[in-house]
Amino acid sequence: MKVIICENYEEMSAKAADIFAAQLTLKPDSILGLATGSTPVGMYKNLIKMNEAGKIDFSAVKTFNLDEYYPIKRDNSQSYFTFMNENLFSHINIDMANTHVPNGETDDAEAECKEYEKKLAAAGGVDLQVLGIGQNGHIAFNEPDDALFSYTHVTDLTESTINANARFFDSADDVPTQAITMGMASIMSAKKIVLLANGANKKDAVKELLNDKITTSVPATLLKLHPDVVLICDKDAYGI
């Protein structure tokens, strides 16, 4: 895993956006794997600016998001579907038909998971994936456990994740208790991964990435098995 330590969040976001821009220059019809949460917002802002300036073009890009709460209506202000539209898609020249977020309002979540994996495979797999990391080391909603799932599945959210995400809802009771999430194999099959971490609350999780151990109790440590991961973090997350 390559590690880039940045002075602050702004520098991290700019560097991450540069990697995405380079990807689109090399392969304009890239399949991008996208994340929600606070961490990638700065990177998305940079990508929007680059797109407005004509430096990058999303017209041939396809995107697949990592996860979505379940159950949740797509038009709920806290759905990841809404998040992506507000923070990226509505500001860039992407064809909305080329964007994919798991459907949190389906009646048949199992079928949705299978369908999502099929669409991902049919598109040819993710070229470049951005990831945030949970304080407990989760990636997407693959929460610490004795065993992890390989492919897109429905999962219970841990108390730690519900509490961490309660800041976006009126209260922790309003946070959905389940999610549809890509599994570890779905994520690891991306050709290249950019993992972003900022803030002192991510320090413990980042520390686990920097030692030599791989454990399902810190799902992000499985990324050590991937040949092309770059961790971009700020000094607080790195612990200096």
Q: By the criterion CB under 6 A, which residues form the site for ligand F6R?
A: 35-39, 66-67, 132-134, 138-140
Lookup: tokens for 2 = 């390559």
Q: Is 143 a catalytic residue?
A: yes
Respond yes or no: is residue 138 known to be catalytic.
yes
CA atoms lying within 13 Å on the CB side of residue 128: 20
Q: Which tokens is 148 given?
A: 């992890």
**Identity of the residue, 132 or 144, whose beta carbon is nearer to ligand F6R in the bound complex:** 132
Decide if 136 is catalytic: yes
Nearer to ligand F6R, 71 or 134 (CB): 134
Instruction: Please report how close the Cβ of residue 39 comes to ligand F6R at its closest, in angstroms.
Output: 3
Distance CA(178)–CA(68), nearest Å, equals 9
C-alpha to C-alpha distance for 117 and 107, rounded to whole angstroms: 18
CB of residue 133 vs ligand F6R: minimum separation in angstroms? 6
Taking the least distance from each CB to ligand F6R, the nearer of 94 and 137 is: 137
Candidate list 68, 127, 143, 208, residue with the active-site label: 143
DSSP string, 193-237: EEEEE-SGGGHHHHHHHHSS---TTSGGGGGGGSSSEEEEEEHHH
Given the residues 51, 98, 103, 136, select the one marked as catalytic: 136
Residues identified as active-site: 67, 136, 138, 143
